Amino acid sequence: MNRSERIRWGVWLLSGLLIGGLLLWGGRRTAITRPPSLEAQLDAAFWKAEAGEPLQPQEKTALTTRLTELTDSVPRLYAQGVVFQLLYGEGLSAPPMVYVQRLRQLAEDPWVRAYLGRLAWYTGQLDKARAYLQEALTQDSSCVPAYLFLARVVPDSACYWLDQAARHPLSAGQKAYLHQLKSRQRCL
């Protein structure tokens, strides 16, 4: 191998090492962070609010803005968004009863029934709330919100409902809420 070939090989080797190093080292620093999905953001805020933790004004405003994108094509997400807006949000674009009527039209979805139960509980209609929540569980035994809401609506059997909820996959917000309720109810 003559001198020019050795130089060419050396340049190729150094270039390869340099490019490889930049790709490995530079890729870690410039990772793209995506904002959380509307579903994840709403779920976290909803359960945080249910737990009585205050939402930061900018957090509430950002979520309220994103909730304007919400349609009823995904009933579970729509129901959670509507209940969040009715209980903790502001700036509804229509009277609250319009949203409640739409939820009633979507009530074949057990998760919608669970959120209707939450609204009934909020308005003091405990029998109606219990009926909605138990219907939701009859339709879908993995409807975690129904278990969590029943733990509040029927405090005498709260530990039972919380144990049932813990048997299902929970979001981070639901886990925190469940642990808070368990400690409040002094469940083992």
HEC string for 129-166: HHHHHHHHHHHCCCCHHHHHHHHHHCHHHHHHHHHHHH
- DSSP H or E run through 162: helix 158-166
pLDDT digits (tens, 9 = 90+) for 55-84: 888 888 888 888 888 888 999 999 999 999
Mean pLDDT over each residue of the chain, to the nearest integer? 87
pLDDT digits (tens, 9 = 90+) for 110-145: 999 999 999 999 999 999 999 999 999 999 999 999
How would residue 91 be classed by pLDDT, with cut points 50, 70 and 90?
A: low
Higher-scoring residue by pLDDT: 88, 167: 167
pLDDT of residue 178: 95
- Structure-token pair, residue 158: 């709260």
